[in-house]
Structure 1
Amino acid sequence: MNWLRRNTKKLIIPFIGVIIFLMIYLMNVTYSAYMDVVMKERQENLLLISRAVSQNLQNFFDEQIRKVDILTRTPGFQQGFETYYETGDDTGMKGYIFSYIQSHQQGLASIYVLDREGEPVFHYDQYPFVGLLDGADLDLHQYGSAEKSGIGQMVVFSDGQYGVTLANNVYGGNGYVGTVVCVLDMGEIYRQYIEMLSPENGGYITVKDENGTVIVHPEERMVRFNYKRDLEGFEDYARYDSLRSMLEEQYSVEEGSSVYVEYSNNIMPPVQLMASYSRMNLDGVSWYVSAVMPYHAAMQTETAGMRHLVLLAVMICTLILAGGVIIYHQQKERQKLKLETKYLRDMNRTLEELRRSQEQIRHYQKLTTIGMLAGGIVHEFNNLLTPIIGYSEFLMEQLGKESEYYGDMEEIYKAGIRGKEIVEQILPFSRKEMETGFFAPVCIDAVADEALRAMELLKPSNVQVEKKLGAAGVNVYGSATQIYQVLLNLYSNGCQAMEKNGGVLTVASREIGRDQIPEAYREAADIRYVEITVSDTGCGMKKEMLKQIFDPFFTTKRKGTGLGLPVVKNIMVNHGGFVLADSKEGKGSRFCLYFPATQLPESGTEEGWEEKREEGRISVLLVDDDEQIVKYLKRRLMLRGYQTDAYTDAQKAMETLYRGDKNWNLMIVDDTMPKYKGTALARKAKQRSGLKVILLTGLVGQDAILMKEQGIVDEILLKPVRFKELLETMERMTKKKDGGDNDREGLHEEEQADYYGYGSDGSFSDGLCCGGDGDGRGGDLSQGSGGNDRTGGAGKRI
């Protein structure tokens, strides 16, 4: 040990040298093995391309031969030949040829009909440029034999246009009577079946026949080039050995891969190429398809990686040398470093605490940003939905059910209501949507059943649903839309957990007492609860993961956001309930939701509702920056007898209030407008004239709630506002009820109860509760089983 301490300085440099040598050696061996694997992979990819092209070409020519064979076997076409030999009339044959051309045009350039001696009876040119093709160039006499059939020779139409012949013999009652020769455009075939499969990074595809002649090549100058012929006499030139070896192997095997060197000319430098090839066999004729790519292009990514690896090795060696120097100095400063280490530990602890604090700040900033974004989306969409729902409802009243357009307007109205529900599902991302003024009695079983029906369309086919709903007739006080969102989220998570292997999704509900809930929650619990259990037989979760599932942005899904279960927890807390999760890895998961049961009955019905107003009695000031909403509300209010002054500019409305030119009884104002918020305008109006104020908003802010408590704002209504609800609120505020027409003219009492299938106010999103059957069972989500399912306009009011 003493000897080692004395000679540490002498041994450290040789030791570092050995380490560096071993690292370089291992990196070289690793890189070589890696490059071999990459090259084999590239060759396999090229081989797949060549196979695909061979198969495409074989399928194409098989199809062409089959189509021509159908033509030549047609009795009428054969009889046309017999007629031609007897009378010289070729009209019968031409009719069949023209029909064939019209129905099989793909890649066909020209077609020749030959007699027994190979003389053309007639021919038809599909392409204009084919007229330049001399029939003598085709050597048509070679087809005047019963043995000459199948793929023939290659021909050139003109510069840049070339093709290949396809012959098919015709037999009649007396044997061989002639031949049909099709000239196929290889340029079109290349574009349709080959070009799209060409390798990237400068790669290309070639096709050669058995004689070595190039049939297909992306460069026109290479078409009809013959490698076998042009390499004759160059046996003594070693530079062509790799190309010659590749060609010999290509013509001797069904498929394979090679790396060879190609010399374009004596000026350009040689190019190393990587090729994979396969043979296409058709009626005794073989073509050879090659997928070619420059070697440097195929390996350039790995070459760049090697450069980075070398740079990394240099950096590591530098770090090792630096580490050696540091170790040497540490021998002299050991005591000093102990103190510094302690100091660094303390600093590291401080920095870690700072980092955690910064992460928490960023986390809350994310939540704030999401809330602001949700608020903006809700506001804009509600402004759009207000005139859509309002005008469609108004037109339905005007048209009446007997109109042929009533059903169309009803569909527009339903779509608007559904759009409102979707917008309301965004609200849990904002901190402003949880006020209890949105809540109403809700039938849990009805919501659970509706969510299951929606999930039926989305769940995998290998997932079964088992429903055990036993809380019919029991209501909870809350938002149906938010409860629907909670259940749909849990259903979706369960189905995704069983997507691979299938399973059973079980949904059960029951009414329980305080002594049946988990003990940890009994002290502050209500007397009765509704328990909903959603369980699956999927993959389950580990205990460590189970502890984090309700943390925002925690997710195990590749495309997950980590916001689904945190929103579930947030909604449950705001409903006065709680959620518990249990899971076993490999066996599945179970989520239990506990909602306090309520004794509140369903919301009041709308039967007998009437708004009564005499013209000129009440004057209204309407302020909203959305011109469509102003136009719609003003028209409806004027038709109901309200004297209405409307403004889309809050500044002008403020100036009018200050001048005191008019005395209004009531002001309806939008909360979010340029220059002035609706709350600011309401404050001024209350100070100047004591106006009654109705605030319209798509998202209720804390300032609006505070001003309502202070009496500055009298009522808050959510956009998109129902005109009936607005009239009810105005009538209650003005305390006047004298004659008028029902807002739903022409609707009978029972028709109003089933209004559009969403309860009497057309809204599923807030105040869904079970119906009032005689047997006490809960009603359907859309209408209620007893026809009296109501959510009530008041459920939307703050």
Structure 2
Amino acid sequence: MNILMEIKKYKALFMSLVMAIVLIVFSCLVFSIWKEYKEAIINNQKKQMLLTAQTMGDNLKAFIEGYEEDINSLCAMEDENYKQTGEKNWNVLTEYVNYHTRYVYDAILEDKDGKLLKSLHGYGVKKVYSITGINDEMSFRQCKLENGEMYLVVKKDLPDGNSVSIVINTKSYYDSLVSNIRLGTNGYVIIKDSNGIILVHPQKSQWGISVISGREVMFPDADLTSLEQMIARQKRGETGVAEYYSYWWADPGVPEVKKISAYSPAYIGRGFLIVSAMIDYNDIYIPVAAGFFKIGLVSLGIIAVVLGMHIYIGTLWLQKRKDREEIAYLLELNKILEEMHQSEETIAHQQRLQIMGTMTGGIAHEFNNLLTPIMGYSELLMLELPQESESYDNAMEIYEASAKAKEIIQQISSLSRKNMETAYKSVNAGKALRRAVKMVSSICPANVRVEEEIFLGEECFLGNETQMNQVILNICVNAIHAIGHTEGRIKIKANKVKPYELEGFKQFSVSAEWSSYIRIDISDNGEGMSEEVLKQIFDPFFTTKKNGEGTGLGLSLVEQIIHSHKGYIFAESSAGAGSVFHIFLPAIELKEQEVTQNMESKHNGVLRLLIIDDNPKVLKLLEKNFSKLKVTVFSCMNFEEARKTLKEQEVEALITEQYVAGKSGTDFCMSLQGSYPELIRIIMADRVTKEIVEAKQRKIIDDYIDKPVSDSAILKSVKICIERI
């Protein structure tokens, strides 16, 4: 019995604890809903008040602009009267006031000293409280006339030193256009100038006073700290809504209250007025609280009925959910283990493929070096031995076996072949850049000017002019977007420089194949780029433009084109300071030579070949074979030695290893094209790469031969190149 009572006791305690937790959670939920509901209603009211202030500002602007046009019309009418009668009587002012009595109290003419010259009521300006400049001739003012009343005045200075003003009845304007806007029980609209001088207020005694210092005088015990912070934002011309503490100045006792004010500037010419709409915070809060309290009572009753049912159902659901989660966890764990196993196999397979691809080049190179002397010396034996002898058959077996090995190496190397279709030629850099500048100028908007400083003569580079135009255009289009609608400039500067000037831009060594570079600097004074953006500008699909305005491929394509021309590109920029793109293209040296009418006639004598290979065995074999064919061969083991030979000897064809001492044979051929345009250039390739195919199709080289090579293969390639010319 005691055990059952203890169980019931603990069960009651448990249920009490559950109910307490439910009540706490419910209270938090109700508070959260109340907070969101209250903020939503108040924020909606703030938006309505801001819209009211902005609308009043637009109306005020249109109201003042109407009187600006009226003054200009009055002046024009008086000028026309002067042309006809020869005198200025300004009778148009009287007619204008009589016709516009709803808002216009008077129209007055004053001399340069402020002395009244003409007025319908005879009152001149006694004191000026506020001046807001509209333009050099016109201003909007708050003035007290000699009758002691405050008015709003639109004044225009005339060329002869006099001035004409339209006096607006402030009370009529407020009663007709402002006072009918109701904001809660005590809310109202107030108009101030940009210095905080009150122009329009429900309480006439506050016209012409400063919203801060004037009220400090009128109400010395008032705390204006919160109001002063909001007025500071209004004076800066900001638009917004603020909650602050102030007073109802017109109520007895001047009670302190929390207010909401929506304010917006109304720009009139070069100055602005401030229109603010204000309401008592309680006018919004109290109705919201009452409505939510009623909703809360109804909701509480419904929840109390449903809560008991859900406790029991929830217990069962929790148990079922726990079981499902355990099953789902085990299934997910099994899935993850399977995916990890598959990922490990995939990664291992990719690594094996990558290792095989890396090894392909080295294997092809080593096998070619071994097969070259085998094939070469077997050919020599076949030439020296009688064809019917057994030794001749043995030599042929060696040759055929090495030829089959060559085919296997070529099949391995063929896996990486790709094609390009752009032909390169010698391009005059100065002329090409000037044509590009004209193209850029034609697409620039009126606010962007293009400047050029091209200090180039007959310097040339080997490349494709269309692609280089695309490079210049892409960079300049980005500069135009960076400048936007402001006044800006794009400057294109070019000159010839030495390779050491690249050291300031790059951390790795510069190729020694070119003795000089053409440097192109494209700068703008646009918005610039941050350091983070600058690091990514050449990445494909990276863009700072809005969706649909850019693909992020422009600068990526620029970098690819420059690299395919064996050049370099760098960018410098900082936010707000514009950008500079530096481009370096290898300059080729042009050499005056006599162009023969028929290339074949040049080779009627002994054919002279220059062969470059860092394997002395291959060079020795080729020299021996070519000597029997009466072909003069100059052999070199590096590019420096080859350059010296070209200067000293007359050579018809150059045959070079794909890479010699780690340097590219393609780059070496490209560097010779300007100095030796008639020289046939052939690459001996371990494996045909994208660079080799590009070089042939862009006419950087004339042909390529798969290694291992033989004298007959070289002569065949040279003959084909001669016939092609």
TM-score grouping bracket, smaller chain normalisation: 0.3 to 0.5
Q: Name the TM-score, length of structure 2 as normaliser.
A: 0.34
- Which of the pair has the greater relative contact order for Cα pairs under 8 Å at 6+ separation? 1
Q: Name the TM-score, length of structure 1 as normaliser.
A: 0.32
Larger Rg: 2
